[in-house]
Amino acid sequence: MNMLIFKRFSLTILILGTLVACKETNKNPQKKISETITSETQNDFLGNYVAKEYHQRTEGYDWISVAVRNKGDNTIGISVRSRADKKRPTCTFDSKAFKVNDSLYRACSNGVGILFSFKKDSLKILTEIPEQADALQFYCSGGGNFTGDYGRIEGELDSSQIDPTLFTKTLELQGIGFSVSSFARNNKKILQILPYGLEIDNSAITRTLEGSIADVEIEDLNSDGFPEILVYLSSDGSGSYGDVIGYSVNNGKSISAIYFPPISENDELKKGYMGHDEFSIIETTLAQRFPIYREGDTNANPTGGIRQIEYQLVDGEASRKFVIKNSTDFPEKN
């Protein structure tokens, strides 16, 4: 299997995961969206988009913005933020969205399909089923949501007004949920995990972050009837070295940290490793993927193919931990 096939295989898994998560609600998918599509590349869409009220912010108007960032092949990152200097932020939302066609991307959140339709310098957000738009009130205050039309602006958003939250995502499984967020405090990045639905201890977990949150996933990885929450990290800088912070639910009562072994501890698997990790859950397995570098390769041009490592969650002596189930090296693209 060459790298191109592997990338397509990985993308298929990611998209299928998104589709399955929303399948139970996708009975009347939105029609005619594709009729408005134009042929553009993913990079054409990157940037900051704002509601029309943004241009009246000096007059005291509230506003919502959408930052669109590259998250890999056929994947973009969506960050919805709003004004936070006068009042509580109107809407706060983070997600990955996956390519449907040249100008349409799709995300899934708590069973709701969300569509991001791009035209030149404009973005339209709507739910796949129109009647589900109210479900996005979960991410907003005052009964609103972030569907609607946005225009792209040059440069950065107004830092004196914008919500300083760096990342936020809420996930729930088997009646237990986690609100995961990060924010800046005293020149440090802080991770906060707020569990809910536990019988005994729902205390917040707060710790300093090295790097940024790339994504968060939830799954019952050991099939004990209770979920695990995994926070994927990416270091700052060109290396984008990955790490995983995980917590496992103990019989529905409390949570404990999961140990994730760093690549540096494995003499064989660390050969050719220079970061650029991607993580995803495939059924009940955690998969880590990264490019393999040969001697002389530059950071931007690895030529050794792709390494995929699969981890299984097991009970350790002191706590649960990830152990390597298998690993596979896929050759470079021909």
What are the domain boundaries of the chain?
3-153, 167-330
The answer to whether residues 153 and 48 touch, using CB atoms and an 8 Å cutoff, is yes
* CATH architecture type of domain 3-153: Beta Barrel (2.40)
Residue 151: Cβ within 10 Å count: 14
Lowest mean pLDDT among 7-11, 103-107, 150-154, 166-170: 7-11
- What is the spatial distance between Cα 162 and Cα 89, in angstroms, rounded to a whole number? 8
| Highest mean pLDDT: which range of 33-42, 137-146, 180-189, 283-292 | 283-292
Residue 79 has pLDDT above 50, yes or no: yes
- What is the spatial distance between Cα 135 and Cα 139, in angstroms, rounded to a whole number? 9
Rounded mean pLDDT of the chain?
A: 87
The amino acid at residue 227 is P
- Phi and psi, residue 226, nearest 5°: -135, 145
User: Which pLDDT does position 207 carry in this prediction?
Assistant: 95
Burial 291-303 (b: 16+ CB within 10 A, else e): bbbeeeeeeeebe
Q: Which CATH number fits domain 167-330: 3.90.550.10, 1.20.1740.10, 2.40.128.460, 1.10.357.10?
A: 2.40.128.460
Fold: same for 3-153 and 167-330: yes
Residue 261 has pLDDT above 70, yes or no: yes
- Phi and psi, residue 157, nearest 5°: -75, 160
Among 309, 334, 312, CA closest to 323: 312
User: Which pLDDT does position 18 carry in this prediction?
Assistant: 41
pLDDT in tens, 281-334: 999 999 999 999 999 999 889 999 999 999 999 998 888 999 999 999 998 765
User: Which pLDDT does position 186 carry in this prediction?
Assistant: 86
Instruction: Give me 230's structure tokens.
Output: 């995994």
